[in-house]
């Protein structure tokens, strides 16, 4: 059954490849619109690298979300092919009316609108495949170019999957097929190791404190906690992990596995990359930091091969971003979320906290700073609007929670927009309706839990 679903999805992706091939042969300029997170930047990178290899010109725009105004504005641009990556599935009706060809390569929840003949819609949900864990936006984008003999680009799709927290416990579903493509192409190396970040660039206590996935309760996001943990084992916290003796590495590995066994497992590296970008998960964090700092163009240029000063800038952004997350988690520890009956939320007007609110909501949940028995929303005010990032756990989804639906339906009631996945979703709503919105989401989650 699973094979049949995958086969149907791959057939749809082949339609996209065939459409793309036609435009490549005509030497058309391709218009790419993608999302500004790690998955979205990876999605654009997969497509842009494939087109660059074919000597095709492309024009890329990376945006925080797709709005109706942008969809209408793009309609008047003179391109023969538009590709919407890691977005677009909720705008099929509008994109059907484009006079040009359109490819949507997405993995978010879909509307029940059929595609016209000029639109190819690649989305796992259309084939009964879970887009929150089995395929990312970058994965859908990769499938669109896979039949152009591009398996050597498959690892970009896995960077996107890590960006959307799909690879932390091994790759499943279509992601596994993409992993096999990466290995087969000779670009990717898989080996067992400690899954801690920045092993070669940061002191160990920072490596541990900056490791959020898999989570290390008491250590992740806690520089002091990481230092004390290492001191208790008489390990020097100021040197890099790579500078430890072998027996010290073993000692650390065993102690960390006592906290979370998942900290030791498959690591995915691209040996031909520069050291800072070799580890796929680390690569996704760097792209994420670029996106979060509104430097998505920098992230894309790095994924297109620019290194040197560009990479130095991105790594510095990542360092600052991690420090902001640590500050945010300290705030969560002090203040805690506001509790409603069925959900909880974080809200602050502080500039630093606002910039990482969605991230600390997510990490706070995984490192057990936040009660796992309720979905959490991170809210940040942007002028007259509020940006909402929602996160819950797999057990809560199994009980009936669907955050994508709850945020989509609730935001619609107040002239906002929202959606995403069952386990992770987002919305944008007018600030004046924030309180009412929160209570409506609370009621919707109660209904979802009760109707299971």
- pLDDT one-digit tens code per residue, 39-97: 999 999 999 999 999 999 999 999 998 989 999 999 999 999 999 999 999 999 999 99
d(CA 205, CA 228): 9
- Which 3 state secondary structure label does DSSP give 186? coil
pTM above the 0.85 mark?
yes
| Residue 200: per-residue pLDDT | 84
* Beta-strand pair 119-122/81-85: unpaired
Comparing 355 with 230, which gets the higher pLDDT?
230
The answer on pLDDT for 8 being more than 80 is yes
Tokens at residue 155, please? 């690892």
Tokens at residue 162, please? 């890590």
Mean pLDDT on 141-145? 98
d(CA 126, CA 341): 34
Could you say which DSSP state residue 127 is in? Answer: G
432 contact partners, CB below 8 Å, separation of at least 6: 384
Report percent pLDDT > 90 for the chain.
85
| Residue 368: per-residue pLDDT | 87
In this structure, the dihedral spanned by the alpha carbons of residues 345, 346, 347 and 350, taken in order and rounded to 10 degrees, is: -170
**Quick one: how far is CA 182 from the chain centroid?**
19
Mean pLDDT on 297-301? 97
d(CA 385, CA 122): 31
Mean pLDDT on 304-320? 95
Of the candidates 60, 54, 2, which has an alpha carbon nearest to the alpha carbon of residue 24? 54
Of the candidates 175, 134, 181, which has an alpha carbon nearest to the alpha carbon of residue 158? 175
Measure CA of the first residue to CA of the last residue in the chain; give whole Å: 25
How buried is residue 248: exposed, middle or buried, by Cβ count under 10 Å (0-12/13-18/19+)?
A: middle
CB neighbours of residue 333 within 10 Å = 14
Instruction: Give the chain's domains with CATH numbers.
Output: 2-166+173-181 (3.90.1640.30), 197-319 (no CATH), 328-450 (3.10.310.40)
H or E stretch covering 204? helix 204-209
d(CA 372, CA 380): 21
Evaluate whether 210 touches 202 at the Cβ level (below 8 Å): yes
pLDDT in tens, 179-200: 999 999 999 999 999 999 998 8
Q: How confident is the model at residue 452 (pLDDT cuts 50, 70, 90)?
A: low
- Which 3 state secondary structure label does DSSP give 36? coil
CB neighbours of residue 384 within 10 Å = 8
Bridge partners for 35 per DSSP? 63
Of the candidates 274, 311, 307, 304, which has an alpha carbon nearest to the alpha carbon of residue 49? 304
């Amino acid at each position: 059954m699973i094979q049949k679903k995958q086969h149907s999805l791959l057939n749809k992706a082949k339609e996209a490849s065939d459409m793309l091939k036609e435009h490549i042969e005509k030497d058309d300029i391709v218009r790419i619109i993608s999302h500004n997170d790690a998955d979205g930047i990876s999605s654009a990178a997969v497509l842009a690298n494939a087109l660059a290899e074919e000597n095709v010109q492309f024009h890329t725009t990376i945006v925080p979300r797709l709005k109706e105004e942008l969809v209408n504005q793009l309609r008047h641009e003179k391109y023969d092919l538009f590709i919407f990556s890691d977005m677009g599935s909720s705008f099929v009706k509008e994109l059907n009316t484009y006079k040009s060809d359109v490819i949507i390569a997405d993995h978010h929840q879909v509307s029940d609108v059929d595609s016209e003949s000029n639109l190819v819609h690649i989305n796992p949900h259309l084939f009964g495949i879970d887009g929150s864990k089995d395929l990312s936006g970058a994965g859908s984008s990769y499938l669109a170019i896979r039949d152009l003999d591009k398996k050597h680009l498959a690892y970009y799709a896995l960077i996107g999957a890590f960006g959307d927290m799909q690879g932390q416990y091994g790759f499943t579903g279509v992601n596994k097929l993409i992993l096999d493509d990466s290995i087969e192409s000779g670009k990717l190396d898989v080996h067992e190791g400690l899954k801690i970040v920045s092993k070669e660039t940061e002191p160990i206590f920072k490596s541990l404190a900056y490791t959020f996935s898999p989570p290390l309760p008491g250590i992740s996001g806690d520089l002091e906690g990481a230092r004390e943990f290492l001191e208790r084992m008489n390990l020097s916290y100021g040197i890099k992990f790579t500078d430890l003796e072998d027996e010290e590495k073993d000692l650390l590995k065993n102690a960390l596995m006592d906290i979370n066994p998942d900290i030791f497992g498959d690591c995915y590296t691209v040996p031909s990359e520069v050291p800072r970008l070799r580890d796929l998960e680390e690569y996704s964090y760097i792209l994420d930091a670029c996106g979060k700092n509104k430097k998505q163009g920098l992230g894309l240029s790095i994924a297109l091969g620019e290194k040197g000063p560009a990479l130095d800038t991105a790594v510095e952004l990542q360092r600052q971003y991690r420090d902001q997350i640590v500050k945010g988690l300290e705030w969560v520890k002090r203040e805690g979320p506001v509790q409603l009956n069925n959900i909880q939320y974080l809200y602050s007007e502080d500039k630093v906290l606002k910039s990482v609110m969605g991230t600390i909501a997510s990490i706070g949940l995984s490192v057990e700073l936040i009660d796992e028995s309720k979905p959490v929303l991170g809210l940040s005010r942007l002028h007259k609007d509020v940006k909402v990032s929602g996160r819950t756990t797999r057990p809560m989804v199994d009980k009936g929670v669907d955050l994508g639906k709850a945020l989509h339906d609730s935001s619609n009631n107040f002239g906002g927009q929202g959606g995403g996945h069952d386990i992770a979703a987002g919305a944008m709503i007018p600030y004046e309706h924030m309180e009412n919105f929160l209570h409506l989401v609370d009621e919707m989650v109660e209904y979802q839990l009760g109707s299971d």
